[in-house]
Structure 1
Amino acid sequence: MTWLVVGLGNPGPSYAAHRHNVGAMVVAELARRAGEGFTSARGMRAEVVTTRVGTAGVGVPTAGAQRLVLCRTRTYMNESGIGVGKVAAFHDIAPDHVVVVHDELDIDFAALRIKLGGGDNGHNGLKSIRAHLGTGDYYRIRVGIGRPPGRQDPAAYVLSDFSAVQRKELPMVIDRAADAVETLVTDGLTATQNRFNG
């Protein structure tokens, strides 16, 4: 069985450290664990890494390991679904084997929430994926970034870097979210929620 794990974000170095790109950071960590570099998927507007994941972790070919396609789209956030739809179709992956890792304003910084399906909550990347997959019934690993302080516009907030205090904690957050992806694929939703939701 093949799983598609998508890390949402905007392409290019000017966006790389933004809160909106935390999903892409998590997928990059999974690729690092696999010891693989992203390659451009021709005609798919995405970069991918194909590896395996099992009880011994990512990139370790153990018995029962499942095929894993890691994906970062090469479009802006509001067109994320284009690349996700193309990669899913190419690898014949159904929505119930798609995991989307994304930032979430309504969750405190560093907290994770894992779920299957649900609304888009104003997230343009999720809206685009729903449009291109034809359903919202895919897994989401929601990485909390918290609400903007004061009257700051949420759109400006997500397109800004993490605070200095948050940047110190961010590597641990990314590591934990990557662990959640591995657990979801190997152990299922309930076990993942019990371990990581909080």
Structure 2
Amino acid sequence: MVCGLGNPGAEYERTRHNIGFATVDALAQREGVGYWKSEAGCEVARLKHRCGGELREVVLAKPQSYMNTSGGPLSKLMRQLHVSPQQILVVHDEVDLPAGVVRAKFGGGLNAHNGLRSIADKLRTRDFARVRCGIGRPPGRMQVADYVLRELKGGFLEEFEATAQDSADVVEACLDLGVEEAIRRTGGGR
């Protein structure tokens, strides 16, 4: 299962906080998936992907609660589909990586990311794979919340869209090669 984090609603679509949703949308577009349905509080699409030489079903999920409570719908969907924490890959924004840098990671800290905290709380573990999409730190004294929720335009929007494509590449590497190898190749870590 690939879970992209973000906030529902058109007003959040082009914000740094929604890079997880944008990545999942890019994956769906690449695979020609256009049908999404509401399931367990998530927008869900399914696709067939060759994972390590074997054709497998991959579930794409976008929790439809707000970022800070995304663990609830995700954990409900995971229970419904009998998916373990070791079978999920969570895609999220990361202020501690420079804008445009994408890294795979397994487990570790939550870096004050409320979406990750919600997931870790609901799953009762931090041991799940992640794709961290660098958005950089806010300029000057701007608050992080204002920075991640500001609507992107012009070059910032283009960079966001390019990062979503790069992130989709890393997700595909995780599916194709396994998370450990993708971490090695992207320079990620624990």
TM tier, shorter chain?
Answer: over 0.9
Q: Which structure 2 residue ranges, 5 or more long, are not aligned?
A: none
Superposition TM-score, scaled by structure 1 size:
0.89
Q: Does 1:18 align with 2:15?
A: yes
Q: Which structure 1 residue ranges, 5 or more long, are not aligned?
A: 57-62
Measured after TM superposition, the shift of residue 186 of structure 1 is 1.8
For 2:173 and 2:153, locate their aligned partners in 1 and report how far apart those are by CA, in whole Å: 29
For 1:165 and 1:197, locate their aligned partners in 2 and report how far apart those are by CA, in whole Å: 26
For 1:101 and 1:65, locate their aligned partners in 2 and report how far apart those are by CA, in whole Å: 22
Residue deviations 1:92-137 (CA, integer Å, cap 9, x gap) = 1110111000000010000012111011111110011011111110
What pairs with 1:87-98 in structure 2 (closer than 5 Å)? 87-98=77-88
Measured after TM superposition, the shift of residue 81 of structure 1 is 0.4
What pairs with 1:90-109 in structure 2 (closer than 5 Å)? 90-109=80-99
Secondary structure, counterpart of 1:14 in structure 2: helix
Paired amino acid for 2:151: D
Q: Does 1:27 align with 2:17?
A: no
Residue deviations 1:39-86 (CA, integer Å, cap 9, x gap) = 111xx1111001121169xxxxxx611220000011001110011101
For 1:152 and 1:166, locate their aligned partners in 2 and report how far apart those are by CA, in whole Å: 16
Secondary structure, counterpart of 1:152 in structure 2: coil
Q: Does 1:5 align with 2:23?
A: no
Match of 1:39 in 2: 37
For 2:86 and 2:101, locate their aligned partners in 1 and report how far apart those are by CA, in whole Å: 24
What pairs with 1:165-184 in structure 2 (closer than 5 Å)? 165-184=155-174
| Cα distance, 1:163–1:106 mapped onto 2, change above 3 Å | farther
Measured after TM superposition, the shift of residue 173 of structure 1 is 1.6
For 1:166 and 1:160, locate their aligned partners in 2 and report how far apart those are by CA, in whole Å: 11
For 2:149 and 2:161, locate their aligned partners in 1 and report how far apart those are by CA, in whole Å: 19
Runs of 4+ in 1 over 3 A off after TM superposition: none
| Cα distance, 1:67–1:5 mapped onto 2, change above 3 Å | same
Paired amino acid for 1:5: V
Match of 2:147 in 1: 157
The correspondence for 1:49, drawn from 33, 42, 45, is 45
Residue-pair matches, total: 187
Match of 1:59 in 2: none
Q: Does 1:197 align with 2:187?
A: yes
Identity between Structure 1 and Structure 2 (%):
39
Task: Assess if the C-alpha contact under 8 Å between 2:19 and 2:160 holds in 1.
Answer: no
Superposition TM-score, scaled by structure 2 size:
0.92
What pairs with 1:61-100 in structure 2 (closer than 5 Å)? 64-100=54-90
